[in-house]
Amino acid sequence: MKKSSVSDAIPGLTKNAATVLEKRYLRRDETGKVLETPSDMFRRVADTIAAADKKFDKKADVSALSDTFYRMMTNFDFLPNSPTLMNAGRPLGQLSACFVLPVGDSMEEIFDAVKYTALIHKSGGGTGFSFSRLRPANDVVSTTTGISSGPLSFMRVFDVATETIKQGGTRRGANMAILRVDHPSVMDFIMCKADQKQFNNFNISVGLTEKFMEAVERDEEYNLVNPRDKKVCGSLNARKVFQRIVKQAWENGEPGIVFLDRLNRDNPTPLVGEIESTNPCGEQPLLPYESCNLGSINLGTFIKDGTVDWKRLKEVIHNAVHFLDNVIEANNYPLQQIHDMTHANRKIGLGVMGWADMLILLGIPYCSDEAVKLGKKVMKYINDEGHQASQELGKKRGSFPNFKGSIFDKKGAAPQRNATVTTIAPTGTISIIANSSSGVEPLFAVSYVRTVMDKNVLIEVNPIFERIAKERGFYSESLMQKIAEHGSVQDIPEIPVDIRNVFVTSHEITPEYHIQMQSAFQLYTDNAVSKTVNFSNTATIEDVEKVYMLAYETGCKGVTIYRDGSRDEQVLTTGKKEEQAASVAATPVEDEKKAVKRERPKALKGATHQMQTGCGPLYITINEDKNGLFELFTTMGKAGGCAASQSEAIGRMVSLAWRSGIQARQVVKQLQGISCHCPSGFGDNRVLSCADAVAKAIQNHLIDNGFDIDSETVRHERGACPECGGIVEHEGGCSVCHVCGYSECA
């Protein structure tokens, strides 16, 4: 690998971006030492992807092409998906983010899919599945004369397997599960995540058909079909099923919906197979065993003198298509079947980020007809030029092998290198690297508070807002603090009205405009658009239903919603859940929620754990009642002293927390890793302090007593990032931290 020809100080690379790169992307040795700079990383990627040109032209000027790719990335005009940045030019070499695997209706096929899933997750990818081929629960199994356990039971196997694979600490496994609405198990599927402790490694979406939606509109029954024999085995009222989907989404954001007939209407290779599923965030419909590599153009960098620089945008589009097509050649696929199907269709997904930035720089409010109109114009331009670039590559390199019988062949189109060209993906982490807004989403926040490792509190300000505020003369540190605390600029009179109009955030935009924007980009996107429609906590079930219907009516291929606070788990509440759920009209029931401290029974069972600390042995007794962990006592081996009193205080606070409904994992998270002047032990037995000893004892107790250690201590509330404690935003069907780059969906 040649060294970068420019300074390692990449212009525009923020301190936060550099931190994310170092933590997640840069090459390390076996001891964890970072071996490359950000510019080295970009050069590594550029060299690797450019080298693929040699497969088609032995005389290709790979060095010049590498420079082009390098500039495109370091100018943040375009960035590929995270696996390409992480793995290009490294031994793993797996460069794709999106995979779909088939799940057949036999034990052999199901567990083959589980094995293949593990291999894909190990390599850094996410997987999508349709479980619609599996016979329903209690159906006949002829080979054993037994009965089927149904799709949900096998989904649990995939969920557990995903939890086991940690992907080398850089990317978590993520799955999409889709079930057809005419599957007999559809009602169980709709409700499978009502208990938020279930299927936490899955996003779920119901696959809706045109027949079903027509039945919804007419309030009619529709047929359920057993996938085993394709025979009708019952019927349901379509409107009631649709309302159940809506109500469940209102309660916790899932299930989403995908319109299967629309996915297959735009399936470029219908003779090859039927599209059954998408990748985890829903934007990439794929055939079984197909993968797709994605990349995004940063629209915020293409504003010149107050207008869109169409000429430079065209140049980057063509270079980006060239880049993504080369990725297919440079990629090291986890399975031969995936290699073969991907090469046969050569799908790429060129999308955008920085859309909100572009609108701000043009002075156009996100929630306006002008913005929707521009969205159509920009995406049409990207799609048209992207296909033109693919045709030019097709003339030089040949069409994708499955071209015959494709939609391009039927239209008599020119040679086409790629079966699909455009996709709008969420860009959580790469938009942090580019310091841009994510995907086609509005701003997450204008300013927010970030707590760094040394507990210092920093005010993070949108760079465009900060620059405009200084240019217009209303910038001040106190104003930035006020915005961060307020969460919005809308009600701050010191900020000019025209600035307030363009700096709107996701929760300040009406759901209708969220859908209109998604529809605008979908109109000129080959695959699908990843977007989350944000609702306030006070939104009604009818509000969600309206948006789901609007998504159908405006041509979207699917939709994901999130009502603010709907996934924040309240352990103990007053009132009955059934009574709360009964209100399906207007406003959700305003029920008083408060933690209720459990009373101590006369007798409790428990165990005492001895932990060796720097202050001597610490004996930690953990007791349980019928609801779980209840109280914790500590006894120091050495009498008296500050350590003994502090340990007793920790025990009392932990006991109070548990009795008030706080989960064990939250206590562990707060205590684990606290260090003092006198640690003890080595390796896995190293104890940093008495507080750290308590955390380790709780973990040991959970393991010894059969608790699910992963769900108890690793899972996190969706409101806070598990790695940095920052605010998690819901976008594209996923939870993303805009501070450190953590993504729940890999």
Helix (H) or strand (E) holding 633: strand 628-636
Calpha distance 707→662 (Å, rounded): 16
Calpha distance 691→712 (Å, rounded): 18
Catalytic residue among 36, 254, 283, 729: 283
Burial 607-620 (b: 16+ CB within 10 A, else e): eebebebbbeebeb
Q: Enter the DSSP assignment of 38.
A: H
Calpha distance 712→665 (Å, rounded): 5
Task: Establish whether 279 is a catalytic residue.
Answer: yes
Q: SS3 sequence, 322-391?
A: HHHHHHHHHCCCCCHHHHHHHHHHCCEEEEEECHHHHHHHHCCCCCCHHHHHHHHHHHHHHHHHHHHHHH
For residue 526, give Cα distances in angstroms to 142, 277, 504, 600, 672: 42, 15, 29, 61, 47
Torsion of CA 355, 360, 362, 368, to 10 degrees: 80
Tokens 């939104």 found at: 539
Task: Establish whether 485 is a catalytic residue.
Answer: no
Catalytic residue among 16, 175, 279, 293: 279
Q: Are 439 and 544 in contact, with CB atoms under 8 Å apart?
A: no
Concatenated DSSP letters of 411-470: TTPPP-S-S--B-B---HHHHHHHT---TT--BS-SEEEEE-TTS-EEEEE-HHHHHHHH
Burial 675-696 (b: 16+ CB within 10 A, else e): ebeeebeeeeeebbbbbbbbbb
- Nearest to residue 664, comparing CAs of 708, 617, 621, 634? 708
- Nearest to residue 292, comparing CAs of 419, 122, 158, 399? 419
- Nearest to residue 503, comparing CAs of 435, 586, 445? 445
Q: In this structure, which amino acid lies at residue 89?
A: G
Tokens 């919906």 found at: 257
Q: Are 201 and 173 in contact, with CB atoms under 8 Å apart?
A: yes
Calpha distance 486→467 (Å, rounded): 20
Calpha distance 173→745 (Å, rounded): 7
Tokens at residue 267, please? 């399936």
231, β-bridge pairs:
226
Q: Please state whether beta strands 447-451 and 558-563 pair in parallel, antiparallel, or not at all (unpaired).
A: unpaired
Task: Establish whether 685 is a catalytic residue.
Answer: no
Catalytic residue among 98, 192, 281, 367: 281
Catalytic residues: 279, 281, 283
